[in-house]
Structure 1
């Protein structure tokens, strides 16, 4: 199995829906696509009713007709299983396939994703349609790969049907073996929650005042179960497609919550495709009118998260126009230059395939306002004109395919802490706050970074390529992960950890041991006291070798131990003068425990103190530009509506134009450079 997309060159694609259009348009559409450099189309992800109009009666003639034309026009295809949209006859005849809310109310037919992932009947129908499709369509050479379903866990990421409750019990029985073991691990002695029969166990239901499932450890297991169900659902389809797929790739598009994509990769999916819609940063439905001053640049965060799953990946849906449904989200049109900018943003972060959503804006249905490359009128427009520029860009740097994104900084992340933090307000919001602080700092200082999925399978080789690792709030920290981090530091790595580290076990319980648990010896510290900063309380600061840095949101009051050294001290509050930052040298490296969260300014101070610098010291950029590095080539992305001035201290070539540039240079609004 692959773990990267492995394209021979940078490749453009588009999502196409021939079932929405008169046959008279098909050939012209495909020929115009090729004129704009599009070589691949995605098809059929919502067409189950077309392929199985009645139960057990399969009709693939429509797609046979279209695929024959695609082959004639030398257009490559990513074909999709249509399981995100079951036909009406299935939902009506088999209501047990429908999802339900926490009170058991069914989600009826009429949208998409209204099914559940565990219904034996639904899985049976998914298996049948997938098998018939794979056996029929894999004869077409124009099909280069398969997409499974569409955006699993997007419309719903919690499931409460009858079969989900039953499958949850089976999941727990497999995981814990006995009720005694489950009761002990879940702490059910608290509030008389002890289970004496497996049938007493349910997914989260309203208990008191609508608070939902009271047991936090069962909440964590519930998310693990949802991920397990989603992985099984997709792996079932992958195994069927694989039987006849030959060397075709198998993928799915994401990324969404409550799904362990690393386990999915181990279960039959070759790599992940991301759906990139940077214009969400400007969605008018958002109360703040956007996502802070980084706006669409924030989507580099999501692209980095995708890269942690698939080092070289694809974009299945790249925003091409203004977006929104008729009842949810409405966005302004991308400004001239932004379509190209967002496409190159994806490429800069590791995408070797970019497929736009969609070729033509649909003239009916829920997505009549989710605009594609073409408008309803099907006449030339400025988005198509901009696509011509993208075509030229891809041709100029087509050989960058296969070159990985390069970074010396890694931000560790893991599903255990992410999922436990969904309900736990004592650490979940802290992780989001601090990760954003580090992201903003690294972006503005033009220091590329990776997210690094930290799992039990992670080894030293996975970590040692990073000069600095940041693990902001590793609340759940196992002994095995702590040992790998100790090896990383001993071999010369720099590690930074923040407050709320190491006080929970793998089940989300708080063992009777000094904080920060398994991180104590690694970082040379124990936690003497801790507190949230109360609303209205001034932000705490830390004096670190004469530099005053913020320690917002939550504070751990520290005490050096195991050879640690206090180097930073709180200023203010009842713990004024107490240690806030402790360092410990182990072998060739350094571990730092910081008793606070990481604001952007805090992260700035750590990068300066640890001498972490941009990989391009010869290039002076304003904060409004992003720097990314793939192989030996540097991407400069200007996210501002105004031109900006950069300085190059040596002569380099802009591969997009072929021009040599040096000294002061002006980058156009929403402009892009690729420097070599």
Structure 2
């Protein structure tokens, strides 16, 4: 994103915080539209994403266009000072396409065809679908490229959310081409996949299929490459639409909404960043007391995927969603808190799905900015209050995230592979483990970045890399260089185990990290669901332990197992390096409380608590520009907290000794550099 652009009018400059929603006027009678824009103006809405699921109305029959309703609503929005992030409308094809071309429909791992009736019923590798989609994109660009209301392009919608994994013949052909480009020769592929096992050797490229349903465990290398391919296949569709738009409307920036924290975990979003002009993300809060920290974690990662540049929160919910087993509404104040936490982590736009809660369809119980109850409702009052808060935060717009001294390394491929079948246990969960370390840092009052594994490690004093399971040689070298330069690495069980082809590093675990950590693990000792093992420190292991059989002379044992078959064996170790760096290994799943104690015991200055966190009760988030620093204080508790922070209060209430952060609330303070 070296040529980062926010929207066409240059509003990456301070003073134009963006606020809005997905807007679906085609779901409503024309008389509702005037009421919509009236309420948008009351709420402070200044941008909407339009036309996302409108292909069937824009092209009711092949090659016949009806833009009349879209012309009218864009003109109406423009007349009321509301800009448009115009979607290419390719997220779901019209009914006539599937009837004429059933070969565009995706197929599941067992060969089941996914039929029309929902959304995203198309194969990412279908040449027929691609032809129709690009024809629509071209028509939209030619018609609206000069319209002053259109300030950005919204390519498709949540690419790969429901059709990422397609096992059709189209996918098989494209997968073979992808593999040929990756490996060059069939012998190199056989070596990477270890096809000597179970007589899986290939002689011809045409023998290779996607990892469809099979009698038992499928080849791990094949599975990993199919995940990579599927991410790239959807990315290729993004790039195809982007190329049309860049050719016809080069002055209008484009984006697509990532789903960094949602169910599309198998997309390598950091690799997509060069294909958009600014990063956008959809986020939906997980219910429960951990949800506040979970939201902060993923917003943090999104900001770092964006390289610290401002990004666009394209979707989140004003209250309840509709797709979990139980969908509780947000409590009073949470709408504002959640939005401002995203802003603290770099979002310069706060948008929702959707503007007006639907009356019909599969998402009619998903909350909107205007709920079924209408404008005289708690939700809409909170929507208006947020609009006011965002106006107060205009000076923040365009500023960048302030870099922390500590970083948690997040690796999509380790997330994919560590949760694979046929492993020692189904217990380890990569996302839960990384979140536990993040929450432990928050408990200690330590501000940390969550960075993608490909980001530079320069400038960080401490790297925390939980369950860094996939360890290509290049990553091993980068981690060694970090510690050799005086950095401190903390990693955990099930790290360093396999190379980039999911082949085990030999010689004992933790594989590629064995020499750096100075320990050798002879075998994994996963625990049954009811089992617990105590450590000498009082920490309790559950789910996973390991048998460390060798500790180097320069390695200190920080904790041991206290009972069971591993009694007195090392559990937590630390190797100190000559340049002042260190490498710490935690061989057990000891949960948030356990890792908090480990971090506190390392005695590193970068892990000292920030006084502004009020003992870990506040999540301290920072943005800044050349003139000022903006501190967001998000209350992690249900009690009022007074924080010793001095400055101009942009959002919130000042107190004699600092600022008052209400229960579950956010206060924003500006101070001069």
TM-score norm. by structure 1 comes to 0.89
Per the TM alignment, residue 513 of structure 1 is displaced from its structure 2 partner at its CA by 3.3
Q: Which moved more, 1:343-352 or 1:379-388?
A: 379-388
Q: Secondary structure at the match of 2:279?
A: strand
Cα RMSD (Å): 2.5
Look up the match of 2:238: 234
Query: Which residue of the other structure, out of 263, 267, 273, is the alignment partner of 1:265?
Result: 273
Query: Which residue of the other structure, out of 400, 412, 415, is the alignment partner of 2:412?
Result: 415
Per the TM alignment, residue 592 of structure 1 is displaced from its structure 2 partner at its CA by 1.5
Look up the match of 1:445: 444
Q: Secondary structure at the match of 1:655?
A: strand
Distance 1:573 1:439, change over 3 A: same
Q: Which moved more, 1:554-563 or 1:55-64?
A: 554-563
Asked if 1 retains the 8 angstrom alpha-carbon contact of 2:375 and 2:381, the reply is no
CA distance in 2, matches of 1:329, 1:156: 22
CA distance in 1, matches of 2:365, 2:461: 46
Per the TM alignment, residue 438 of structure 1 is displaced from its structure 2 partner at its CA by 0.4
Q: Map 1:374-453; keep pairs closer than 5 Å.
A: 374-376=370-372, 378-406=374-402, 407-424=404-421, 425-426=423-424, 429-453=428-452
Q: Map 1:287-366; keep pairs closer than 5 Å.
A: 290=288, 293-310=289-306, 311=308, 312-324=310-322, 329-366=325-362
Asked if 2 retains the 8 angstrom alpha-carbon contact of 1:476 and 1:503, the reply is yes
Q: Secondary structure at the match of 1:271?
A: coil
CA distance in 2, matches of 1:608, 1:446: 11
Per the TM alignment, residue 349 of structure 1 is displaced from its structure 2 partner at its CA by 1.9
- Which segments of 5 or more consecutive residues in structure 1 lack a partner in the other structure? 282-289
Query: Which residue of the other structure, out of 622, 633, 636, is the alignment partner of 1:629?
Result: 622
Q: Map 1:569-584; keep pairs closer than 5 Å.
A: 569-580=560-571, 581-584=573-576
Look up the match of 1:50: 57
Look up the match of 1:495: 489
Asked if 2 retains the 8 angstrom alpha-carbon contact of 1:524 and 1:565, the reply is no
Asked if 2 retains the 8 angstrom alpha-carbon contact of 1:3 and 1:265, the reply is no
Look up the match of 1:593: 585
Q: Which moved more, 1:298-307 or 1:217-226?
A: 298-307
Does residue 274 of the first structure (1) align with residue 266 of the second (2)? no
Look up the match of 2:464: 470
Query: Which residue of the other structure, out of 189, 193, 204, is the alignment partner of 1:182?
Result: 189
Cα deviation 1:619-658 (Å, max 9, x = unaligned): 52564x4332223332222355x4423353x65443225x
CA distance in 2, matches of 1:549, 1:226: 41
Per the TM alignment, residue 618 of structure 1 is displaced from its structure 2 partner at its CA by 4.6
Query: Which residue of the other structure, out of 637, 640, 650, is the alignment partner of 1:655?
Result: 650
Distance 1:651 1:228, change over 3 A: closer
Per the TM alignment, residue 383 of structure 1 is displaced from its structure 2 partner at its CA by 1.9
Does residue 155 of the first structure (1) align with residue 162 of the second (2)? yes
Q: Map 1:58-77; keep pairs closer than 5 Å.
A: 58-77=65-84
Look up the match of 1:203: 210
Per the TM alignment, residue 614 of structure 1 is displaced from its structure 2 partner at its CA by 6.0
Distance 1:451 1:668, change over 3 A: closer
CA distance in 2, matches of 1:402, 1:562: 51
Query: Which residue of the other structure, out of 473, 477, 484, is the alignment partner of 1:483?
Result: 477
Cα deviation 1:97-134 (Å, max 9, x = unaligned): 10112221211111101211001111111121112212
CA distance in 2, matches of 1:512, 1:276: 39
CA distance in 1, matches of 2:5, 2:84: 18
Distance 1:306 1:664, change over 3 A: closer
Asked if 1 retains the 8 angstrom alpha-carbon contact of 2:124 and 2:163, the reply is no
CA distance in 1, matches of 2:659, 2:267: 44
Per the TM alignment, residue 139 of structure 1 is displaced from its structure 2 partner at its CA by 1.1
Q: Secondary structure at the match of 1:49?
A: helix
Distance 1:670 1:530, change over 3 A: closer
CA distance in 1, matches of 2:669, 2:563: 48
Asked if 1 retains the 8 angstrom alpha-carbon contact of 2:541 and 2:589, the reply is yes
Cα deviation 1:52-109 (Å, max 9, x = unaligned): 1111223323222222222222211100111111000111111111011222121111
Distance 1:535 1:13, change over 3 A: closer
Distance 1:450 1:270, change over 3 A: same
Q: Secondary structure at the match of 1:527?
A: strand
Cα deviation 1:495-533 (Å, max 9, x = unaligned): 111122223111101143343333233223333443223
Per the TM alignment, residue 245 of structure 1 is displaced from its structure 2 partner at its CA by 2.7
Distance 1:337 1:259, change over 3 A: same
Asked if 1 retains the 8 angstrom alpha-carbon contact of 2:167 and 2:210, the reply is yes
Look up the match of 2:22: 15
Q: Map 1:513-528; keep pairs closer than 5 Å.
A: 513-528=507-522
Q: Secondary structure at the match of 2:495?
A: coil
Look up the match of 1:88: 95
Asked if 2 retains the 8 angstrom alpha-carbon contact of 1:559 and 1:579, the reply is no
Asked if 2 retains the 8 angstrom alpha-carbon contact of 1:570 and 1:577, the reply is yes
TM-score norm. by structure 2 comes to 0.90
Asked if 2 retains the 8 angstrom alpha-carbon contact of 1:153 and 1:258, the reply is no
CA distance in 2, matches of 1:338, 1:618: 22
Cα deviation 1:206-259 (Å, max 9, x = unaligned): 222xx4x52111111110111111110111111111113333221111212221
Q: Secondary structure at the match of 2:66?
A: coil
Asked if 2 retains the 8 angstrom alpha-carbon contact of 1:622 and 1:645, the reply is no
Distance 1:539 1:600, change over 3 A: same
Asked if 2 retains the 8 angstrom alpha-carbon contact of 1:427 and 1:473, the reply is no
Q: Secondary structure at the match of 1:301?
A: helix
Asked if 1 retains the 8 angstrom alpha-carbon contact of 2:419 and 2:430, the reply is no
Distance 1:434 1:671, change over 3 A: closer
CA distance in 1, matches of 2:595, 2:566: 23
CA distance in 1, matches of 2:566, 2:610: 42
Does residue 141 of the first structure (1) align with residue 136 of the second (2)? no
Cα deviation 1:462-495 (Å, max 9, x = unaligned): 2122221111122221222122222222222211
Q: Secondary structure at the match of 2:532?
A: coil
Q: How many residue pairs get matched?
A: 646
Asked if 2 retains the 8 angstrom alpha-carbon contact of 1:647 and 1:662, the reply is no
Look up the match of 1:287: none
Q: Secondary structure at the match of 1:591?
A: strand
Per the TM alignment, residue 413 of structure 1 is displaced from its structure 2 partner at its CA by 1.8
Does residue 245 of the first structure (1) align with residue 242 of the second (2)? no
Per the TM alignment, residue 443 of structure 1 is displaced from its structure 2 partner at its CA by 2.6
Asked if 2 retains the 8 angstrom alpha-carbon contact of 1:500 and 1:556, the reply is no
CA distance in 1, matches of 2:436, 2:616: 18
Look up the match of 2:9: none
CA distance in 2, matches of 1:549, 1:469: 22
Q: Which moved more, 1:427-436 or 1:85-94?
A: 427-436
Does residue 559 of the first structure (1) align with residue 556 of the second (2)? no
